[in-house]
Amino acid sequence: MSGRKGLKSIHFASTVWFIACVCYILVSALRQAGFNWWIIFSLSGHSVLLIFLLISLYLFAILRSVRRVQKIEVEHPLTSTGYYIAFYTITPFLGSFAGCLGTIGANTVSQFLLGIAMGTFGATFLAWVIVDPAIGLLEMLLPASRRHRAERLAQAEAERERKRKNRERLLADVSAKEESDRCHWEKVLKPQAEKLAELLVADETGSEQIELEAVAIGANAWRIGGLSCMRQLRDMALAITRERNLDMAVVDYISVWWDGVGNWRNLSLPLG
């Protein structure tokens, strides 16, 4: 784990160095083209946000690439090795060293620094943008890599299918249990639903005794099957009330009576 963290730190440092060299090359090119420093700072000031976003995305992509230890060795026999990962990580520094050797006889400091920056840019671009993707593509074309990848994808597809079937089976079991509970509750709750229907049409619907009886019935339904059982009992009572009183508007007093019983909350409106 410590080696992996150290590798990420080195890779981050090499990436920052690479970006610094690219910025130096751009500034040098603008200076050689005759731009004054205030123009260069003005241009960089207007585009600082865009540059920051691009660098952030670039660093994110590069830092993800350092996780090559997660590559499957059978499919990537070269790029998953420690030697290749180390070479990939320190490529900007190797480019700087090559640029330093190539500009030993430079007349000015600016030429020397520009040589280092160009060496860093050239080596990094060659290794990260051209060589590494090409090697990765060649690795994927190897017979062993193709065979292992096909087997891995088939196993992944089989695992997804297994999980899908398990979800469907679980949903089917839940639905079957809910249907079984509804059938069972319909038989058990029938007398209580009829009692609630009588309470709904009683002349003294606002009396405390009627409310207490309704609350007791609701609490019993909560003990039997929770909120789902209470909802079914309420629906049964309202249906019985409508059947018995076709010419009478039905008001859902049950939701008011049961407000606060278990998880029941009064969200209903008067029903006609």
pLDDT above 60: residue 193: yes
pLDDT grade for 45, boundaries at 50, 70 and 90:
very low
In terms of DSSP H, where are the helices of 125-207? Answer: 132-141, 143-188, 190-200
HSE-CB at 187 with a 13 A cutoff on CA atoms is 5
pLDDT above 80: residue 61: no
Global model pTM greater than 0.95: no
pLDDT grade for 129, boundaries at 50, 70 and 90:
confident
pLDDT grade for 65, boundaries at 50, 70 and 90:
low
Q: What phi and psi values does residue 117 have, to the nearest 5 degrees? A: -65, -40
pLDDT grade for 132, boundaries at 50, 70 and 90:
confident
The per-residue pLDDT for 32 is: 67
Q: What is the mean pLDDT of the chain?
A: 78
The per-residue pLDDT for 46 is: 45
pLDDT digits (tens, 9 = 90+) for 68-77: 444 577 788 8
Max mean pLDDT among 32-36, 53-57, 84-88, 202-206 falls in 84-88
pLDDT grade for 31, boundaries at 50, 70 and 90:
low
pLDDT grade for 43, boundaries at 50, 70 and 90:
very low
The per-residue pLDDT for 272 is: 44
pLDDT above 50: residue 258: yes
Q: Which of 69, 54, 53, 50 is nearest to 11 (CA)?
A: 69
pLDDT above 60: residue 14: yes
Task: Report the percentage of the chain scoring pLDDT > 90.
Answer: 9
pLDDT digits (tens, 9 = 90+) for 211-249: 888 889 989 888 888 888 888 899 899 888 888 876 667
pLDDT grade for 162, boundaries at 50, 70 and 90:
very high
Alpha carbons 141 and 174: distance in angstroms, whole number = 47
Instruction: Give the mean model confidence (pLDDT) for residues 123-138.
Output: 88
Cβ 80 vs Cβ 69: under 8 Å: yes
The per-residue pLDDT for 259 is: 85
Across 44-58, 104-118, 148-162, least confident range: 44-58
In order of 70, 74, 141, 147, 267, the CA distances from 154 in angstroms are: 19, 16, 18, 11, 50
Cβ 92 vs Cβ 17: under 8 Å: yes
State both tokens at 87. 């070479």
Instruction: Give the mean model confidence (pLDDT) for residues 24-42.
Output: 62
Q: Which of 197, 233, 203, 208 is nearest to 218 (CA)?
A: 233
pLDDT grade for 51, boundaries at 50, 70 and 90:
low
Q: How many CB atoms lie within 10 A of CB 115?
A: 19
The per-residue pLDDT for 3 is: 64
Cβ 198 vs Cβ 243: under 8 Å: no
The per-residue pLDDT for 35 is: 56
